[in-house]
Each structure stands twice: as C-alpha cells, then as structure tokens.
Amino acid sequence: MFTRRDHLNTHIRTVHKKQARYSCPYCKYCTDLKRDLARHVAVHTGDMQYKCSHCDYAAVQKQPLTRHVYSNHTNKTVKCTYRKCTVKCSTVSELHEHIRQEHPQQKYRCDVCPMSFDSQGHLNNHKLIHSNTKNFQCTYCDKCFTRSGNLSNHLLTHTGVRDHKCGVCGSEFTQKAHLTRHLRIHTGV
C-alpha cells in the first residue's frame, strides 16, 4: 500500500510498465532516481569516489568501502597462535605476514591453510578443523564435533549452566564467546 499518489505512480511505471526516467548508456539498467543512475554508471566508468584514508583502496559505492575499513583497519585483534608469542594483529592478512616472517622455523606446516606448528601433535590437532572427522558425539542429541573441547561447550546448552553473566543487563550465557558477542550490543562495536 502506498501513502502517496506519486509513489504509486512511480511503482506502476517502473514495475508494471517497465519504464523509468533514467537509463544507463552502457547497459539496460533503468531507474527513476538520478542519484541511483549516477552510482550505477560509476561502475562502468570506474569513478571510484569513495577512497580509503588508510590505504590505496577505492570503491564506487560507500558500502564496500565501509566493509573494507572494518575488515582491514579497525582495532579488532587477531592473536598469533604460536606458543609463547604475544603478538596481536589488526587483520588476518597482517597475522599471516607476521607468521611468515617471525615463525619460519616452524617445521610442521598445514597443507590447507598458512598455519604452521612446532610439533606434529599440534598440527594434527589443527588439521581436524579442515576434515569432516567428528569423533565426539553429544549424549543428549546427534551433534558431533571434531574436538572434545567443542563438545564440552556444546553440552552446556543441554545442562543449562550459564556461568557467564553480562554486567550491564544481567543476561547469562553458557559460553564466554557468547557473552563477548552479546556485549557488542552495549558497546556498539
């Protein structure tokens, strides 16, 4: 239902009659909004008006730039997984570069991803995430897991034990990771 007559007319013209005021000179795209056409034409012309202030990345529209900045330049941290290494990186690609440069002596490399380890046992444990081998089954339901720790976390959903409480609103969670995710509601991050 439309509250204004001009909105109804636009709907009829663009959806039912397949007509629009503006059309792309490069393809069959049509729209009633001039700004939408300008944004669309930029895809063809390569007019990258949204530029990252941190690197050389540029985009035609604002949304891909916003995603890029969040993924590559925000203050989230990715910890190095090597024993006794305390390095935290802001992006996964930065972490991979750190591992390549700072841990080249690691003998046991994963053949699926860039991770490497100082022992065969650690590599074997890591490789479970790439395989479909799930040897740990829940006694309450049919779910199976690659690691016993994951099964232990899952069992908390059946037992009802909620040891992780939000200090802001009092919500309780079975896992610390769920509380951490919940806290984003309060912090806006």
Residue 167, C-beta contacts closer than 8 angstroms, at least 6 positions apart: none
Residue 68, in any domain of the structure: no
Amino acid symbol at 157? T
Residue 47 has pLDDT above 70, yes or no: yes
Domain CATH code at residue 152:
3.30.160.60
Give how far Cα 79 sits from Cα of 93, 95, 128, 163, Å: 12, 8, 20, 25
Vertex 182: Cα angle to 176 and 187 (nearest 5): 120
Same domain for 106 and 83 = yes
Which amino acid, one-letter code, is at 128? L
Structural domain includes residue 70: no
Q: Lowest mean pLDDT: which of 16-25, 85-94, 152-161?
A: 16-25
Q: Domain of 26: which CATH number?
A: 3.30.160
For residue 120, count CB atoms less than 10 angstroms from its CB and return exposed for 0-12, middle for 13-18, buried for 19 or more: exposed
H helix or E strand, kind and range, residue 97: helix 92-102
| pLDDT of 83 over the 80 cut | no
pLDDT at 14: 64
Assign 76 a pLDDT band (cuts: 50, 70, 90). low
Instruction: Examine residue 64 and state whether it is found in any structural domain, yes or no.
Output: no
Residue 57 lies in a domain: no
Domain finish residue from 105, 130, 155: 130
**How much is the pLDDT for 124?**
83
Which residue has better confidence, 168 or 82?
168
pLDDT of residue 34: 82
pLDDT exceeds 80 at position 123: yes
* Predicted TM-score (pTM) of this structure: 0.36
pLDDT at 55 over 80: yes
Residue 126's domain comprises: 78-130
Query: Does the pLDDT at position 189 exceed 70?
Result: no
Whole-number pLDDT of residue 136: 83
Mean pLDDT of the chain, nearest integer: 79
Question: How confident is the model at residue 153, as a pLDDT?
Answer: 81
Contacts of 24 (CB under 8 A, 6+ apart): 30, 37, 40, 41, 44
Q: What is the pLDDT of residue 111?
A: 80
pLDDT digits (tens, 9 = 90+) for 126-145: 887 787 778 888 888 888 88
Which pLDDT value is given to residue 133? Answer: 77
